[in-house]
Amino acid sequence: MRHTPLLLTVFLAAAPLAARAQGILDPQGPVAAGERQILFNSLGIMLAIVIPTIVAILAVGFWYRASNSRARYLPDFNHSDRLEVLVWSIPLMTVLLVGGVAWLGAHELDPRKALPSNVKPVTVQVVSLDWKWLFIYPDEGIASVNHLTIPVGRPVSFELTSAGVMNSFFVPQLGGQIYTMSGMLTRLQLQADHAGTYRGMSAQFSGDGFADMHFDVDAVEAGNFAHWVETARSKGSSLDASTYAHLSKPSAGIAPVTYRAVTPGLFGSILAAEQQHEDICTRTSMRAER
C-alpha cells in the first residue's frame, strides 16, 4: 500500500500516451486530423461551462464557511435577474458554439467529399464478411483479405458494402468510421500522410468472430505500392465467383491473403445479390404481416 500513490501517478501519466498510440489523438491523415481538431474545439468550448461551475462550487463553499462572519444568510432570497442571465447565457452559448463546430465539421469532413489532391485517388471496394474484410482494387485487378495497402499522400476512395450483418469500418489514425450494410453502398475518403502500419478494425459487434475482425493498413511510398501490386499479380489464386462463395462462409481468424486477379464486376455482383436478397426478405415480411 505504501507504493499506491506512486503507482497511481505513473498510471495517470501513462494513460494519455496509451490513448495516443494507434488512436484518434495520433492522426496520420487529413481526415483524422480534422476529426481531432473538432474534438479539441468541442472540449475547449464545453470547459467554458465546466470550469466556472467547479470554481463557483469551491468559491461558494469557501465563502459560506462557518468561520466567515461576513457571509450573510438570506432565507427570503428567491430570484435574481443577473443570476438568471448568467445561468442561461453560458449553456446557451455552449450549445450554439458546439453545434456550429459540429455543423461545419460535418460538411468539411463529409465522407463522400473528395479530398483535395493533384493525383487520381486509389479506388478500394470493401466487403465486410463474417468475420473478415475483403478489399478489392478494381483498377489494379487484385484483391486482399484482412490486409490493406495504400500509397502515402494519395487519396483513397472507398466503396463499402456488407455481405452479412451490419458492420463498421474504422481506421482510427486515418479517420472515418462508417457503416457497411447489406444491399447498400456507402462511401469514404481517406488519406495517409506518413508511411507506417495502422490498425483497422470493426467498430460494430457482429457475432462470434467480431474480436478477429481487424486488419493492418500499410501506408507505403508510391514506388513500393506499385511493387506490391506487381507482386500480388504474380502469385496466388484468382478471386472468382466460386472462390468468393467459399470465402463468404462464416470464419474467423483468417490470415491475410492476396488474389492475383479478380473477376470484373464482382463487387457489383455482391451488391446486387444482397439487394435482391433484401427485396425478397422485405416482400416475405410484408406477406407475413398481412
Where are the strands (E) in the chain, listed by range? 122-129, 132-137, 142-145, 147-151, 156-162, 167-170, 178-180, 186-190, 196-202, 214-220, 238-239, 257-259, 261-262
Task: Specify which residues 178 forms β-bridges with.
Answer: 169
At 79 the pLDDT is: 85
26-69+79-109 CATH pick, 3.40.50, 1.10.3470, 1.10.287, 1.20.144: 1.10.287
How big is the chain, counted in residues? 290
| pLDDT tens track for 180-208 | 999 999 999 999 999 999 999 999 998 89
In our burial notation (b when 16+ CB lie closer than 10 A, e otherwise), range 198-232 reads bebbbebebeebbeebebebbbbeeeebeebbeeb
Half-sphere exposure of 20 (CA within 13 A, CB side): 6
Helix (H) or strand (E) holding 30: helix 30-63
Strands of the 147-151 sheet, one edge to the other: 147-151, 214-220, 196-202, 167-170, 178-180
What is the amino acid identity at position 95? Answer: V
- Whole-angstrom CA distances from 202 to 117, 146, 166 are 28, 11, 10
Please choose, from the candidates 159, 182, 51, the residue with its C-alpha nearest in 3D space to the C-alpha of residue 111: 159
Q: Does domain 122-286 have CATH number 2.40.160.10?
A: no
| pLDDT tens track for 58-105 | 999 999 898 998 988 888 888 889 889 988 888 898 899 999 999 999
At 4 the pLDDT is: 52
User: Helix (H, G, I), strand (E, B), or coil: what is residue 75?
Assistant: coil
Q: How far apart are the first and last CA of the chain?
A: 68
- Its pTM stands at 0.82
- Which residues of the chain carry a pLDDT beneath 70? 1-22, 277-290
- Rounded distance, CA 127 to CA 119, Å? 25
Domain ranges for the chain: 26-69+79-109, 122-286
